[in-house]
């Protein structure tokens, strides 16, 4: 059974621990040690106060469900320690220098960096953009204004532009755009909207290319116990882990 080290024991980490299947979670790390200890008590695994000690434990893969900063601080070292890594805070990879360093470390160590689908669907098929022309790639994200700390009584667009510029103003809302860009190897246009009449995060992806065109709309339910987090994002990691060592690989 694949052994997992969990980096980040917040909303997503808690769902992963609760719902994991066919993998063993053996080690936990969070800068908030009490969160790691609480989860350790439910899994029978161990919480570590020190990252260096955590990463040297006997497991195959680290799941990062922490923050962009955590990816910057730890992802290279994880690969150098001979572990694969799942990166949920994929916005970190908008930094090209970091992305190149991770690629190099992964190649040298013979390990992989996995980017889960997170809060959207369709990253597998979007990879056709790597071999065939894409003329239009647009992400429209709509959230309740309260989730962005905005007061308004009407629907409005608060950002339109390139993903790299969105990062500067809304750093926590860039994961999906960066995942789309990495999958397609094309730049994405981003629109960020707030709408007081919706209570779920909505992502719409518009794509046109040589293949034709498609539109994906995802209305994300929050986690059952954690309204701040899209359940789909946590489930995408649980599914990725479950399928890692399966002999038949579907939809890559
Ligand atoms: N790719 C996607 O579609 C997608 C979807 C949802 C969430 N996310 C990202 O996943 C991450 C986790 O989301 P969440 O809702 O569980 O967040 P959260 O804030 O509930 O939990 C994050 C946990 O990680 C810990 N942490 C943060 N930085 C750390 C560091 N440098 N070292 C050690 N521990 C650290 C925090 O103490 C916290 O307990 C976030 O970065 C979020 O933006 C991505």
Q: What is the pTM (predicted TM-score) of this model? A: 0.96
Fold of 123-220: Dihydrodipicolinate Reductase; domain 2 (3.30.360)
- Contact indicator for 85, 61 with CB cutoff of 8 Å: yes
For residue 19, count other CB atoms closer than 10 A to its CB.
16
All CATH 3.30.360.10 domain ranges in the chain, comma separated:
123-220
pLDDT along the chain (252 residues), means of 10: 96 94 96 97 94 98 96 98 97 95 98 96 91 95 92 96 86 89 95 95 96 95 82 95 93 77
What is the DSSP secondary structure assignment for residue 146, as one 8-state letter? G
Ligand 1 binding pocket includes 175 (Cβ within 6 Å) = yes
Ligand 1 pocket mutation, candidates 13, 49, 63, 65, criterion most atoms within 8 A of CB: 65
Ligand 1 binding pocket includes 43 (Cβ within 6 Å) = no
Q: How far is CA 195 from CA 109, 153, 155, in A?
A: 46, 8, 4
All CATH 3.40.50.720 domain ranges in the chain, comma separated:
2-118+232-243
Q: Which CATH class is domain 2-118+232-243?
A: alpha beta
Confidence at residue 240, expressed as pLDDT on a 0 to 100 scale: 95
Tell me the catalytic residues. 203
Which helix (H) or strand (E) is 252 found in, with range?
none
| SS3 call for 155 | coil
Ligand 1 pocket mutation, candidates 73, 88, 141, 225, criterion most atoms within 8 A of CB: 88
């Amino acid at each position: 059974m694949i052994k997992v080290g969990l980096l980040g024991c917040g909303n997503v980490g808690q769902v992963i621990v609760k719902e994991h299947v066919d993998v063993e979670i053996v080690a936990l790390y969070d800068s908030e040690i009490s969160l790691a200890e609480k989860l350790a008590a439910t899994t029978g695994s161990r919480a570590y106060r020190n990252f260096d000690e955590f990463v040297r434990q006997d497991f195959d893969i680290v799941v990062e469900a922490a923050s962009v900063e955590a990816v910057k601080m730890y992802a290279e070292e994880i690969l150098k320690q001979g572990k694969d890594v799942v990166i949920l805070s994929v916005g970190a990879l908008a930094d090209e220098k970091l992305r190149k360093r991770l690629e190099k470390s992964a190649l040298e160590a013979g390990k992989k960096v996995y980017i889960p689908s997170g809060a959207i669907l369709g990253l597998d098929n979007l990879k056709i953009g790597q071999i065939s022309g894409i003329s239009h790639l647009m992400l429209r994200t709509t959230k309740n204004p309260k989730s962005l700390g905005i007061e308004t009584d009407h629907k409005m667009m608060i950002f339109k532009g390139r993903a790299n510029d969105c990062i500067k103003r809304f750093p926590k809302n860039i994961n999906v755009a960066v995942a789309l860009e990495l999958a397609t190897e094309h730049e994405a246009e981003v629109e960020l909207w707030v709408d007081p009449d919706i209570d779920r995060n909505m992502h719409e992806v518009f794509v046109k290319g040589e293949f034709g065109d498609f539109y994906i709309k995802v209305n994300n339910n929050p986690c059952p116990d954690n309204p701040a987090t899209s359940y789909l994002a946590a489930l995408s990691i649980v599914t990725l882990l479950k399928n890692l060592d399966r002999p038949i690989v579907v939809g890559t």
